[in-house]
Amino acid sequence: MFYREVGQFKTSYAADQQVFPIRQDRIGVAVILLVALVVVPWAGNDFFLSAIAIPFLVLALATIGLNVLTGYAGQLSLGTGGFMGVGAYACYKLVTLFPDAPIVLHVLLSGFAAAALGIVFGLPSLRIKGLYLAVTTLAAQFFFEWCFIRVPWLYNYNASGAIEVPGRSMFGVTLTGPSASSTARYYVVLLVVIVLTVLVKNLIRGRIGRQWMMIRDMDIAAELMGVRPLHAKLSAFAVSSYLCGVAGAMFVFFYLGAAEPSAFSVTLSFQVLFMAILGGLGSLVGSFFGAAFIWILPILLRWGMPLVGMPLPSETVTQLTSMIVGALIIVFLILEPHGLARLWQIGKEKLRVWPFPYA
C-alpha cells in the first residue's frame, strides 16, 4: 500500500540509474542507516555490540568480498579465510612497524597486501576455469595457513604463536585493545563497512562490474566484446581479496582482540561461502542477509532454546547449527538459488502490487 512507485517518473538517465530509484527504498535505506548509526549504539548493550553487531558487519564485508569474486565474476573461491588472515597479519605487521600511524589507516592499507596476493593466486584463473580453480584457492588457503604458523616474523616471534592486538587510539578515543569500548569499535567497523559497500556498489554498476558479470555469464562472448580476461579476472581477484583482507584485519583488531592461525582456517572460508550462498550470489544486500543469518542462528539457538524450556549444551548448538545450515544450503539451492536476496525482492514485488496477486 505504501510501497508504490506510482507517480515517480524518471526524466533523465541519471535519475533512472540511481541505486535506489524508488522513493520508498530511499526512505528505507535512510531509516536503516539511522538505526545502525544511532539506535544500535544507543540501545545495544556491550554483548550485543561485541558479539553480534561487530562480527556480523565484519563477516558481511568478507561476504561482499567473496561475492565480488564468486557472485559477480563467477570464479569460485574456497580461500576466503586465508585472504582474511593475510589482511589480519598485514595489519598486525603495519601496526608494529608504524606504531604512530592511525589504526584505521593500517586496516585500510592491510587490504592491499591481501589484494596483491589475490592477484598472484588469481593468475591461474586465466588458464583454468570453474571447479579447477577451487583447487588454486585451496592452495592459497593452506599455504597462507602454513605461513601464519611457520613464519615467526609474521607474529613478531611471540612465544604463543598468536597475534595480540595492541591498544591504539585515534583522536583520543581508544579503538583497539582490551580497553577499547564496544561502541567505539562498532562505529569504526560500521563506517568502514558502509564506505566500502558504497564503493563496491559503484564498481559493480559501472563498466568494471559489467565486465565481471560478462566474464561470469559467458567468458567467450565477453572476450569477443573486447573484455580482456586478464584485466577482468585479476581486478575481481584484487578487489575481492582487498575486501576480505580488510574484513580479516577488522575481525582481529575490532572483534577477536587476539588470533591464532586456526582462526583463519578453511572452516572460515566455508562459513563465508555459506553466507554468500544463503544470502544470494551476486547480491550486495544478500551478503548482509547471509552474514546475519549464519552468524545469528547459533546465538539464537544458544539463547533462545532455554527460553522455550529446551536448554542446549554448546556443542549441541554447534552441531545443530552445522546441520541446519547444511540442510538450508541444499534447500535454498533447490528452491531459490538466488538466496535470501531474491526472497527479499519477491517480497517487495508482492508489496508493490498488493492487494492483487499479480502485476
Partner 1 sequence: MSAIAEPPVLAAPNDGIKPGEVLLEVRNVSLAFGGVKAVTNISFDVRKGEIRAIIGPNGAGKTSMLNVINGFYHPQEGEIVFRGEKRRRMQPYEAAASGIARTFQNVALFKGMSTLDNIMSGRTLKMKRGFLWQLLHYGPARDEEIENRRKVEEIIDFLEIESIRKTPVGKLPYGLQKRVELGRALAMEPDLLLLDEPMAGMNLEEKEDMSRFILDVNRQMRTTIALIEHDMGVVMDLSDRVVVLDYGKKIADGTPDAVKNNQDVIDAYLGVAH
Partner 2 sequence: MDFLHDILLRPFMDMAAQPDFFIQVIWEGFVAGILYALIALGFVLIYKASGVFNFAQGIMVVFAGLTLVGLHEKGVPAWLALILTIGVMALLAVCIERFVMRKLVAQPDIILLMSTIGMTYFLVGLGEFVFGGEPKQMITSELGLPTGSTAVEFGERGLIIFQHIDIAAAVIAIVMVAALAVFFNRTRIGRALRAVADDHQAALSVGISLNQIWAIVWFAAGIVALTTGIMWGARSDVSFALEIVALKALPVLILGGFTSIPGAIVGGLIIGIGEKIGEIYWGPLVGGGIESWLAYMIALIFLLFRPQGLFGERIIERI
Site of interaction with partner 2 (CB under 8 A): 76, 124, 127-128, 130-132, 134-136, 138-139, 142-143, 145-146, 149-151, 220-221, 266, 270, 273-274, 277, 315-316, 318-330, 333-334, 337
Nearest CA to 261 among 165, 153, 155, 145? Answer: 145
Contact assessment for residue 271 and residue 58, using Cβ atoms and an 8 Å cutoff: no
C-alpha dihedral sign at 288, 292, 295, 297: negative
According to the binding rule CB under 8 A, does residue 202 interact with partner 1? yes
Q: Judged by CB under 8 A, does residue 358 bind partner 1?
A: no
- Residue 355: asked if its preceding bond is cis (omega within 30°), the reply is yes
Binding piece for partner 1, criterion CB under 8 A, among 94-102, 205-213, 255-263, 321-329: 205-213
x/- mask, partner 1, residues 249-288, rule CB under 8 A, reads: ---------------------------------x------
Q: What is d(CA 113, CA 138) in angstroms, rounded to the nearest whole number?
A: 18
Q: Is 241 in the site for partner 1 (CB under 8 A)?
A: no
112 to 45, 89, 90: CA distances (angstroms): 34, 12, 9
Copy the grid coordinates of residue 115: 589484494
Least Cβ distance, residue 299 to partner 1 (angstroms): 34
Q: How far is the CB of 170 from partner 1 (least distance, A)?
A: 24
**Which of 145, 139, 93, 90 has its CA nearest to residue 116?**
90
Q: Which entry of partner 1, partner 2, none binds 351, CB below 5 to 8 A by partner kind?
A: none
The SS3 assignment for 176 reads: strand
Is residue 220 near partner 1 by the rule CB under 8 A?
A: yes
- Burial class of residue 219 (count of CB atoms within 10 Å of its CB; 0-12, 13-18, 19+): middle
* 217 forms part of the interface with partner 1 (CB under 8 A): yes
Task: Round to whole Å and give the CA distance between 13 and 314.
Answer: 54
Q: Which is nearer to partner 2, 164 or 336 (CB)?
A: 336
Nearer of residues 26 and 150 to partner 2, judged by Cβ: 150
Shortest distance (Å) from residue 124 CB to partner 2: 6
Check: CB of residue 254 under 8 Å from CB of residue 188: yes
Binding flag, residue 333, partner 1 (CB under 8 A) = no
Residue 319 binding target from partner 1, partner 2, none, CB below 5 to 8 Å by type: partner 2
Given the complex with partner 2, which of 21 and 326 has the nearer CB atom?
326
Name which position in 25, 223, 260, 336 contacts partner 1 (CB under 8 A).
Answer: 223
What does the alpha-carbon distance between residue 93 and residue 228 come to, in Å, rounded to a whole number?
35
